[in-house]
């Protein structure tokens, strides 16, 4: 294929993106067009970025909880990282 075994292994195991060089070699060996490999890599990059953005997004949810024990509420808020307005 003309690709180092370590590069191919890292690509297969998701430790390295599919480069144009690897895509061309895969096309030559498997007959799957370079454009398909590169489109798959681009879609993976987009999906990964979207997941990262979603994971980093913090949502604020306002909930009213009737509580008779304010100390318990403070303890729960501290334990779970809630912001409470008592």
Query: Would the CA dihedral through 46, 47, 48, 50 be positive or negative?
Result: positive
Query: Which of 11, 7, 10 is CA-nearest to residue 41?
Result: 11
Q: What is the Cα 38 distance to its own chain's centre?
A: 19
Look over the chain and give the mean of its residue pLDDT values, rounded to a whole number.
87
**What's the pLDDT score for residue 74?**
82
Share of the chain above pLDDT 90, in %: 51
- Within 8 A by CB and 6+ apart from 10, the residues are 16
Kindly list the structural domains of the chain, giving each domain's residue range(s) and its CATH number in brackets, ordered by start. 5-80 (1.10.260)
Q: For residue 45, name the pLDDT band (cuts at 50, 70, 90).
A: very high
**What's the pLDDT score for residue 49?**
92
Q: For residue 34, name the pLDDT band (cuts at 50, 70, 90).
A: very high
């Amino acid at each position: 294929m003309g690709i180092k075994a370590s590069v191919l292994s890292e690509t297969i195991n998701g430790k390295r993106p599919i480069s144009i060089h690897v895509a061309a070699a895969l096309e030559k060996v498997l007959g799957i067009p370079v454009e398909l490999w590169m489109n798959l890599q681009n879609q993976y990059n987009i999906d990964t970025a979207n997941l990262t953005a979603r994971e980093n997004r913090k949502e604020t949810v306002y909930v009213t909880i009737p509580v008779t024990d304010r100390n318990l509420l403070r303890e729960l808020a501290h334990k779970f990282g809630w912001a409470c307005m008592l």
